[in-house]
Amino acid sequence: MTATTRTLASGPGWHVADVTCTASAGDRPFEEAHQDFCVAAVTSGTFRYRAQQGTAMLAPGALLLGNPGTCYECGHEHGSGDRCLSFHFGPSYMERIIAGVPGARTLAFEAPRLPPLPALAPLLAEAEAARDMADRDAFEELSLRIAAAAVTTASDAAPVRRGPSRRDQKRVAEAVRRIELDGDGPVSLSALADETATSPYHFLRIFRQVAGMTPYQFLIRTRLHRAAVRLRLSDDAISAIAFDAGFNDLSTFNRRFRRVMGQTPSRYRAGQASRR
């Protein structure tokens, strides 16, 4: 077997895997069938992908697009090996995403791939970073965003400029309060969407419109803010503060804190102590 698959995260109707292939020009093309919708971001290597929609060469930054039940073939006549972040969606899950994408009317990809596009680069970089950081909690949101980006780009749908409705603003406000109340525990995107009676993609879209960031970004900022306040007000161990705020890993907390606050938690605490 020339390909290894490692599941990174999963949920009802979706999962994402890190797929590494070591095939070379001397190996026979790999033949299989898509079990569900697939949007695979190529992160290294190149390979040829042939499916019912056509044949395409995929390189880093490109998206492979697969439809459920479609047979496909992958070959490496132009080089050895590749690595992909492979996002998979059940038909009913994808149908809900497509229903929330303005201009998208078909439940099938008509092209075999999307080439590397500048508009997709930041999102793909974020997904690759989440893989390398083992940030499992980020993938539910990233899966929705990548699926919606693929559908939007493939459909050539123009983004809607209309602002969120008052009802949607209320939904987001309720979700913000929920995150503020329960931010130190697990808060999933699907649960927030269910509580506001919307689809996950619609909820994600309106949350970004209203809050200026995604629910996961807001959750992380909420946790970091609480940790910063506690660093100012207490002498508790930094590890205890990180875990109580909802972070399961001290190194992840330190890295995120420094990125947002501009300094490590220990330096931040020392600076506040000197001011006092």
Query: Which residues neighbour 211 within 8 Å (Cβ) at sequence distance 6 or greater?
Result: 172, 176, 218
User: pLDDT at residue 137 above 70?
Assistant: yes
- For position 162, what pLDDT does the model report? 62
pLDDT digits (tens, 9 = 90+) for 38-60: 999 999 998 889 999 998 888 88
Q: For the chain, give the percent of residues with pLDDT over 70.
A: 94
Phi, psi (5° rounding) for residue 45? 80, 175
Q: What is the pLDDT of residue 159?
A: 47
Q: What is the pLDDT of residues 223-275, one digit of tens each?
A: 999 999 999 889 999 999 999 999 999 999 999 999 888 899 999 998 865 55
In this predicted model, what pLDDT tens digit does every residue of 259-269 receive, in sequence order?
Answer: 888 899 999 99
User: What burial class does residue 1 get, using C-beta atoms within 10 Å of its C-beta: 0-12 exposed, 13-18 middle, 19+ buried?
Assistant: exposed
Over residues 159-169, the pLDDT tens digits come to 445 677 888 88
Q: Which region among 9-13, 77-81, 188-192 has the lowest average model confidence (pLDDT)?
A: 77-81
Per-residue pLDDT at 104 exceeds 90: no
- Could you report the per-residue pLDDT of 9-21, keeping only the tens digit for each? 999 999 999 999 9
114 CB-near residues (< 8 Å, 6+ apart): 62, 63, 65, 120, 150, 153, 154
pLDDT of residue 157: 43
Residue 158's pLDDT is what?
45
The residues near 133 (Cβ < 8 Å, ≥ 6 apart) are: 252, 255
Question: Which of 208, 188, 193, 103 lies closest to 152 in space, CA to CA?
Answer: 103
Band of pLDDT at residue 154, cut at 50, 70 and 90:
confident
Mean pLDDT of 197-209: 91
Q: What is the pLDDT of residue 16?
A: 98
Between 157 and 129, residue with greater pLDDT: 129
**Which pLDDT belongs to residue 47?**
87
Q: Taking residues 108-119, report their average pLDDT.
A: 89
